[in-house]
Structure formats: structure tokens, C-alpha cells
Structure 1
């Protein structure tokens, strides 16, 4: 089975403020009698499956600014996105939200299922088909400019700046020497793509820990805290990163119409920019209550930059 790549250290539900737990029970209409803590993802807040006395089920995410100053913004973004996306079988429905200015919580439909196994051909195929379907559905949904989505164009520009200045990055940053001069001009590729229209809403964080597979095989996309306005090929690419360190990844890129349209240079530039950014952040970032995040950065950077080397004949 494929294990989640991102595993954080989370608050348990019983440690969430009483006011938030009272709100949860008011919304569900019955006392909570059973909990199952989830470990995937990096938020320091709780992520808990709930069972109530009357059999009602729900899933709650809750975080306070004292745990991490940035995570409440991600939760508020997810609330805004799910509010405007409405109901669809491809994502878990938002039941209610809570925000007292410090603590933010989402009460979400509890999806019966488990994380998909990316080593199983049929389950991997279902994820890729589901991602393509998600991209189509998202193009049909209106999310107004007032919703605080990630600007993928700005992200591409940030990654391009990182690649352009790698020669001056700290020597301890885990970046291969050959990449520090950006010999293939991937910064320019990213900047060119950043100038293209990006009206498409993307999930922007497709990983195995953000996917659930229902008993019938249907894939559900969860955790919309980094949803973005970006290119239509971003989610299909992200869905393949689980196996970016294999030649399967390159073959799969060639089998995706969206990624073929984007082009191999765009895919490799994405990997180079993302991987370099994570590598540099691993030696300069200051993380609050996120003890596993830096190891995640280092591992993911290594996997992506090794794929860049493979794809560029290094």
C-alpha cells in the first residue's frame, strides 16, 4: 500500500477548545461518542473522524493561530472554495464552518474509504481518470475573485527567481551543482507560463494523503487549503508526483493530453522550480509547530530533482 508522504504531528480532538467541540455537536445534532484521528497532512490542528450517539458521522478540521500563524488562512481558503464549489461526488461536502478570529474549523462530510494505493494499476488509473474529470468539472464552477486562491502565476515567478539565483543560495541547500546555473533555462520557461491566462481553478495539492477511495472505487479529493488559479495541466501533473522517481512518470506524461499540450519543457521546469524551491526552503524556513515539514521538503526536493536529472540526461 502507498503510505502518505506528508505526515504531521496533530492536536487530538479532545484538546480542541471546548467552544469548538460544542459547536461541532450543535451542528451534528448529537453528542460525539467516538473519534478516529487522522495523520496525513502537515497542519498542527486536529483532523478527526467523528461518530455521534445517534449514528451521525462527520469529519472535523480545527486549528488555532497559537498553533501556527499561517494555517488558519489555509482553512479560511478551504471554506471559501468549498462554499462556492457546492456539492459534487468528487469532493467531500462542507457541512458547516466556524471562525472566532483565532480558531477556525470545518465540519465536512465523512467519506467512507481509504487512501488509494498508487502501486496498484487499477487504483492508480482511477486516480488519474478522476483528476482529469476533476479538472473538467472545476472549469465549469465559478469561484469569484473575492475567494483567496493561490496565484499559480506568482508561484511560477517565485520558482523562476529561485532557479535564477541558485548560484547564490546557501551551500548547504541540497541542490545539485549542475542545477545552480540553470543550464537549460527552466526559469525562463516558468516565467513564460506565468504570463499565460490562468482562469482555471486547480486543487494544487494532489497527494495520496489528500485522496480517498470509496468502497466502490470512486476517488474523492480532500483538503482544498492551497486551491489555486492555475493552468489546467497542474493537477494532472501533481497526481503523478507519487511516482516521479520512476520512468513510469515520463511514460504517463506522454499519455496525458493536458500534459502533452503543456509540453515536456513545462513539466521539467515545474519539477526543477518546485524542487529547487523546496531545497532552499529546507535551510532557510522557520516552521512553527510543524516538526516533520522540513524532512518532507528534503525528500520531495530530492525526488523531483532526481527526475529532472533523469529527464534532462544528467
Structure 2
């Protein structure tokens, strides 16, 4: 599964006035910029090296070019401002929004995407982090009305008061030697405490084993697990099937692969 999209733009494409304002927000001159891999949305994803040697991660987009992505950036900024310190997510340093360009500035994480298929030790690390993250986000620090709509569960009335990442797949995780970092929070929603870990388990080679061992899932009624997997696979496969001719083919391939994984798990449980 390719975990990098194909529609990134370079930092140099951002208007000079916006780049200057970002430098003002950072309080330093920007010495260099390097585009980074990962993710599927349009826009800038780059490491900015400041004149004091500090690295900062920036994502930026034009609302004219990609209004939906600009909306995601705005929502992510609203979520990131309110994440507790215990959540393993990069800290939001500042954000910029002039109505046209939207830019988010995060502390830079010198990590890498996890290898796919998963290495067992990497998956265990990420699953442990997701389990602890659920505890840190219960109850949600954000009212449900201020979070995103649950994309995969719009027709399934699951209840809960946990702030969920909502997109917890390998391409939204960075690993370094000592820590797991969960990135990209625009789809965060409020729901059942187990939703992120079930999503993550659906990407593992042996999800049933993890289901039986994890404290958030081992006591779940089977019908609740089955309903979640049906909704999850349906969301992803519908996303792939309804993608227009202009959609990023790597995004379509990713959604198809993840949706089929979840559907196969559901079928094995039947």
C-alpha cells in the first residue's frame, strides 16, 4: 500500500506575503524548506529550517485551489489547539488564515512512517499508544458539536464521549526511537472509546488476536465489533468507488486496500 499521495506542492508556490507572515509568526527567518513524503491531500507539507537551526513542520493550502482541504486545515487547527499534553501528537505552534491561504505550523517530528506490512513490534507500539491516547481523550476536550461528523459511522448510532482521531491508519503515524506520534487530526470526532483501536487493528495481519487482548476491545459484544467493521469497510470502499476521474489514484488504492482488509476481517468473524 502506497502511503504517499502525489499532489503535494512546493513551499515556493505559496505567495511571498504568506511566507513572510509565517516567518513573523515563527519569530525567525526561514532558511530553507524541504517537501516531505506522506499523506494524500493537496497542498504543502514541508520542513522549514529556521535561521537558528530549528525545524518546523508546515502544511498549507489555497482555499481557492482546494476548498475542502482548506476546511480540513481549519478544523485540524481547532482540534490541535485543545489536545491535552498527554496526547502523542505534535504541538501546534501557530496557524495562519487570511481567508485564502491557510497554514498550520507544528513542531517538527524527526520520525518515519511505519513499514508496511507492519513489523510486529511497531504495531504493538502504535496500538499501545492508541490505547493510552483514548484514555487521555476521555471525556473529550472538545464538544461533539465542534468536532467533525463521523465519516464512517454516519448511519450507525454508536455512542461515546471519547475524542477520536478518526483516521488512524499507518500513514498518519510517525515513529522515532522513543515515541509514537499521531498526526493529521482534521477528522477527529466524538464517539466510542474503542473506535480508533479497532480502525488500527483492521490494518494488522492478525486483528482477532489483538481484539481479544486489548483492554478497550476484549469485552465488546461481537455484534458491536461486526457493526463497526461493516460501517468501516463500507465507508472506505464507497470512498474508492465514488472517487471521480480527478481523484489521486494512490488515495483510491489506499481506500480500496484498507476497505478490503476490514471487510475480510468482518467476513472471517461471520
- Identify the residue that residue 174 of structure 2 maps to in structure 1: 212
- Give the deviation of 1:140 after TM superposition: 5.1
Contact 1:203 1:226 in 2 (8 A): yes
Which of 35, 47, 60 is 1:62 aligned to? 60
Change (3 A) 1:57 1:97: same
Structure 1: unaligned runs, 5 residues or longer: 159-190
Contact 1:8 1:40 in 2 (8 A): no
Contact 2:7 2:248 in 1 (8 A): yes
- Give the deviation of 1:65 after TM superposition: 1.9
Q: Please tell me whether residue 252 in structure 1 is matched to residue 210 in structure 2.
A: yes
- Give the deviation of 1:11 after TM superposition: 1.1
- Identify the residue that residue 97 of structure 2 maps to in structure 1: 99
- Give the deviation of 1:4 after TM superposition: 5.5
Select the structure of larger CA radius of gyration: 1
- Written as runs of structure 1 = structure 2, the 5 A alignment for 1:135-284 is 135-139=134-138, 142-145=141-144, 147=146, 149-152=147-150, 155-158=152-155, 191=156, 194=157, 196-216=158-178, 218-243=179-204, 246=205, 248-284=206-242
- Identify the residue that residue 5 of structure 2 maps to in structure 1: 7
> What is the number of equivalent residue pairs in this alignment?
269
Q: Distance in 2 between matches of 1:8 and 1:268?
A: 34
Q: Distance in 1 between matches of 2:264 and 2:144?
A: 37
SS in 2 for 1:10: coil
Contact 2:230 2:266 in 1 (8 A): yes
- Identify the residue that residue 126 of structure 1 maps to in structure 2: 125
Contact 2:203 2:261 in 1 (8 A): no
- Can you list the C-alpha shifts for 1:253-311, whole angstroms capped at 9, x where unaligned? 11112112333332232222222233333333447664532232222222222222222
SS in 1 for 2:219: helix
Normalising by the residue count of structure 2, what TM-score does the alignment of the two structures yield? 0.89
Q: Distance in 2 between matches of 1:31 and 1:289?
A: 36
- Can you list the C-alpha shifts for 1:12-45, whole angstroms capped at 9, x where unaligned? 1111222221122112233222323222112101
Q: Distance in 2 between matches of 1:96 and 1:84?
A: 13
| Bigger fraction of residues in helix | 1
Q: Distance in 2 between matches of 1:86 and 1:263?
A: 30
Q: Distance in 1 between matches of 2:16 and 2:145?
A: 31
Root mean square deviation, CA, Å: 2.3
